[in-house]
Amino acid sequence: MKKIYAAAALILAAFTAQAQLFQVDLEALAVITENQNLNPTTGKGISWYSIINQTNPFDSIQGGVFIRTTGAGSGLETNDQVFYATPTSTLAPSGGVMGYVRTISQPVDTGLIFAVDGNLEATDSVNVLLNIANYEADSTTWSSILVERQNLVIGQVYGFFAYATVWPQDGSAAYQDTIRANNFDYVPVIWGPGGVGIKNGFNTNYESLDLYPNPAHSRINYSFEVKKASTYQTVKVMDITGRTVKTENFGATQAGQYNGSLDISALPAGNYSIMVITQFGVNTTKFVKN
């Protein structure tokens, strides 16, 4: 595994025509276990590595980054390569990301999950987190969607993220990623004392969200208290597997009681979770679409 520079643009150059080009779909998965605290101000060791060895940095978390090969294509073969970026990556001066390339040591069948950063250790400190608002606004450069450690604000919501794609990206790879929409995944986290989010289920640090009607047919109304004015408000709807099925970005939100509305008419009937992310808080609840 090696650290490598990737171009600043997230919308990467298309693969050139080749005699034999396999279709593969890589899905990035960012996972953080429940109720872990990320506390960069007190020096508290979080990961097992930092606790046992008492080594710096102390803000590593018991989380991981995984990649799944879905059914929309073939699996990966030995010596195929995957590029990925995580919170342990860094930004290059030119605005690109210093991510990682992993060479597959054994075949990975379609539908299987494999770890690229399965256990973040103390030496894998958080270097960058996701600016959720810019990402949801479809910014296309790494420098616009990632916030470097020295610029992180205590108490602000960011994203613990995962990004993955086949490598190389210059057209010489044997694979083409068929669905690029799921190459990026994130979990909302709060920098500093107060805890971080989780991938599946609800963190006890999340605030509640009032929602009606429930069950709903075509539209849901939600209400929550904005404790501090935010430069953005992002609404995510997830299905029962944790997959994001709808995202809306509503821009700046003033402090106080906020009443919002979301069109869910295009969603299939079923059980869902809704998460409202502002600059300094996360509100969430569940609902049923009939």
Residues 88 and 37 in one domain: yes
Query: Considering the domain boundaries, does residue 166 fall inside one?
Result: yes
Provide the pLDDT for residue 160.
86
Burial class (CB in 10 A: 0-12, 13-18, 19+), 237: buried
Report the domain count for the chain.
Answer: 2
Same domain? 25 vs 87: yes
| CA separation, residue 151 to residues 9, 48, 131, 159, 286 (Å) | 21, 27, 11, 14, 33
| Domain that includes residue 250, residue range | 207-289
Domain for residue 196, yes or no? no
Does one domain contain both 161 and 33? yes
Give the pLDDT of residue 14. 35
Q: What is the domain-level CATH number for residue 264?
A: 2.60.40.1930
Look at residue 113 and tell me if it is in a domain: yes
CATH number at residue 59: 2.60.40
Which of 161, 190, 219 is the C-terminal boundary of a domain?
190
Helix (H) or strand (E) holding 155: none
The answer to whether 76 and 106 have CB atoms below 8 angstroms apart is no
**Does residue 195 lie in a domain region?**
no
Residue 24, domain member (yes or no)? yes
For residues 146 and 24, state if they share a domain. Answer: yes
Q: Kindly state whether residues 63 and 126 are assigned to the same domain.
A: yes
For residues 284 and 242, membership in a common domain is answered with yes
What global pTM score does this model have?
0.73
Q: What is the dihedral of CA 157, 2, 167, 90, to 10 degrees?
A: 30
pLDDT of residue 156: 84
Q: Is residue 179 part of a domain?
A: yes
Are residues 91 and 229 located together in one domain of the fold? Answer: no
Instruction: Tell me: do 173 and 270 sit in the same domain.
Output: no
Backbone φ and ψ of 17, nearest 5°: -65, 140
Within a domain: 201: no
Q: Verify that 118 and 239 share a domain, yes or no.
A: no
Total residue count of the chain as it appears in this document = 290
Q: Is the domain of 137 the same as that of 258? A: no
In a domain, 200, yes or no: no
- Cα 91-95-96 angle, rounded to 5 deg: 65
Say whether both 176 and 211 belong to one domain: no
Same domain, 182 and 214: no
Pick out the chain residues at pLDDT < 50. Answer: 1-3, 8-19, 33-36, 41-52, 57, 121-123, 198, 200-204
Q: Which of 142, 165, 190 is the last residue of a domain?
A: 190
Task: Return the number of other C-beta atoms located less than 10 Å from residue 243's C-beta.
Answer: 11
